[in-house]
Structure 1
């Protein structure tokens, strides 16, 4: 990536639109604005200017903003051209920018990557920004906003500072043990705090499931025998025909899903192939995929329209939470064994549907309104936090190996935390992280 280049891109989404925003960042930003608009506006003050190509032809009138570095999103000189959002107009302005010396179109996530490289954001904040753009529910928005604003980073930075302080105390004892103002032992001053820190990290890791559900949604698999009403339930909840519904067993062969917004959380419902013994090769593959989906689920809705107490035969090796659902309540009058079902529904009459949704809601994280959402959400977060916890545990347990060895384990714990925020050793992560962004970000 050529950081010396000045980059530009449409940053405001799809066209046509009422207003389109073109972002520019880099050392040639001032010259680019001067070439197109005749002058550079005062910093951070909106100016209405005409935009012209190099032949002097007027392309549009727009609001122009200039942000001198380092006080900009990327830390470089930046500008925004707010123009009319017609496809031809935007194309003409982008073409004119591309004709200027030293300018090129931005790569995916390049503006945010420059913000990271120039110290304007850390990796957790960058990931939070990406999640904020993609957020579809209120809890996803809150989680992403917490991360993008640095809430999670501040927690990790506070832990890193405690590790640094502990190492400093150890170094002081090792190097200046004869000095009167240096404690004779660091045990009472830092090891108690390291035990507390280890517990804090372990408790934080315990919230990873909640973070996963908030960010990616509660994964709910609808399972059961053929013709139990799985596809009908999916269509009812989606309020449209997602799955084919017939009286012929085995209609569903592949995994279908629909996303719901339930109490501000994303809930992803999966319709699956009916569970039964079959010689049909395609249906057997569908059942195999059903089993895999169940193993990855946070919750299984196990459906049956006929009385049964032998739900376990359908669950297979799945051992997670289950809601047993009696379907087609409007059509069957058979008596069910006591305690055999958790919910009774009919998609035709709507009976029991609100109670079923309430039952699903009980498996959502219990997060109070206004509470902090400083939760780990990505696998790399978990792996590095687990590594930090393990190194602290090693430092605490190696009381007979010497303070220098213990200090080395604390240094490795600090490095692991640093890899979460991007303070150390992150070059191999950058291409993956920033490739998830849209071009104008």
Structure 2
């Protein structure tokens, strides 16, 4: 990322905090992709009521359904709250009490079967659970907004802004180069680099202020030594920042990709070239001129 994207972190964090929902809310949502029928779907619950909500889903007083140990996967039946206690699914359950969780709050993950009926049933049970748990308490348990689990992690200090941007890039990565770059940023490589720059700048500033404040009271030799040590450090730091700006531009190209258009006369071989690049029959190849009339698009990992 270019430096400009994180140059005003304090203002961005303050604005994000102002827009953020109350920290005491318990939120839940499908965290493994919306609208996808799959073998397994992950439903995440995060907040102070995550643990009590799981207890409700396990069924009150059922000795065969003990509350799982922290950070141990356990197979449990998910039971709808209320009279009758309909069984919704048999799921892999994870209980991760905060602050040692992705969001920094108490987190429950339900790895259930991915049919629409199962997912809708479990989400409906969580909504019913919130009515049972929070009736008259003033607390809130609701569906999460898009990206809100990550916002909780950011608000609770589990991720900084650069890591959040890295996570967003990782989720959108199409190529191995994009994946590698985003993963490094998400793991904190960029944040560590910024912290080192800040440390160097603070040290240089302290030396400069010392020369300005006490230069008249000290020996000229000492002042010259401090100055001669300071100038090369500042210049080296400036060169490193300029190099990082260039790297940031290259990183943007990796992240966003490059748009290429194959243009040529009819039957010049455009479709054949596209198929070779895509390594699949993306376009129809025919000796008849004008066979490909629609725009054919493809994503290439070169």
2:37 aligned residue: 16
Deviation at 1:213?
3.5
Indicate which of 223, 248, 254 corresponds to 1:184: 223
Q: Partners in 2 of 1:143 and 1:202 — Cα distance?
A: 19
Alpha carbons 2:38, 2:113 under 8 Å: kept: yes
- In terms of fraction of residues, the more helix-rich structure is 2
Q: Which runs of 5+ in 1 are unaligned?
A: 263-441
TM value normalised by structure 2: 0.75
Q: Partners in 1 of 2:80 and 2:212 — Cα distance?
A: 68
Deviation at 1:150?
0.9
Alpha carbons 2:72, 2:95 under 8 Å: kept: yes
Indicate which of 63, 74, 77 corresponds to 1:50: 77
2:149 aligned residue: 111
Query: Using a 3 Å threshold, how does the CA distance of structure 1 residues 244 and 65 change in structure 2: closer, same or farther?
Result: same
Alignment of 1:291-302 (within 5 A): none
1:195 aligned residue: 235
Q: Partners in 2 of 1:27 and 1:244 — Cα distance?
A: 60
* 1:247 is aligned to 2:285: no
SS of the residue aligned with 2:259?
Answer: strand
* 1:81 is aligned to 2:110: yes
Indicate which of 127, 144, 165 corresponds to 2:203: 165
* 1:261 is aligned to 2:291: no
* 1:72 is aligned to 2:72: no
SS of the residue aligned with 1:64?
Answer: strand
Deviations 1:94-130 (A, max 9, x none): 1111231321111111111111111111122112112
Q: Which runs of 5+ in 2 are unaligned?
A: 1-19, 60-65, 135-139
Q: Partners in 1 of 2:249 and 2:218 — Cα distance?
A: 49
1:134 aligned residue: 172
Query: Using a 3 Å threshold, how does the CA distance of structure 1 residues 98 and 242 change in structure 2: closer, same or farther?
Result: farther
Q: Partners in 1 of 2:214 and 2:153 — Cα distance?
A: 41
Deviations 1:193-242 (A, max 9, x none): 11111111212222345323432334333234555333442245333244
Deviation at 1:149?
0.8
* 1:154 is aligned to 2:192: yes
Alpha carbons 1:234, 1:243 under 8 Å: kept: no
- The aligned length equals 258
Q: Partners in 1 of 2:103 and 2:276 — Cα distance?
A: 46
Alignment of 1:28-427 (within 5 A): 28-38=49-59, 40-55=67-82, 56-99=85-128, 100=130, 101=134, 102-175=140-213, 178=217, 184=223, 186-225=226-265, 227-238=267-278, 239-242=280-283, 247-248=289-290, 256-262=296-302
Q: Partners in 2 of 1:255 and 1:235 — Cα distance?
A: 14
Deviation at 1:145?
1.3
Q: Partners in 2 of 1:83 and 1:4 — Cα distance?
A: 26
TM value normalised by structure 1: 0.53
RMSD: 2.7
Q: Partners in 1 of 2:144 and 2:75 — Cα distance?
A: 25
2:4 aligned residue: none
Q: Partners in 1 of 2:218 and 2:52 — Cα distance?
A: 60
Alpha carbons 1:30, 1:40 under 8 Å: kept: no
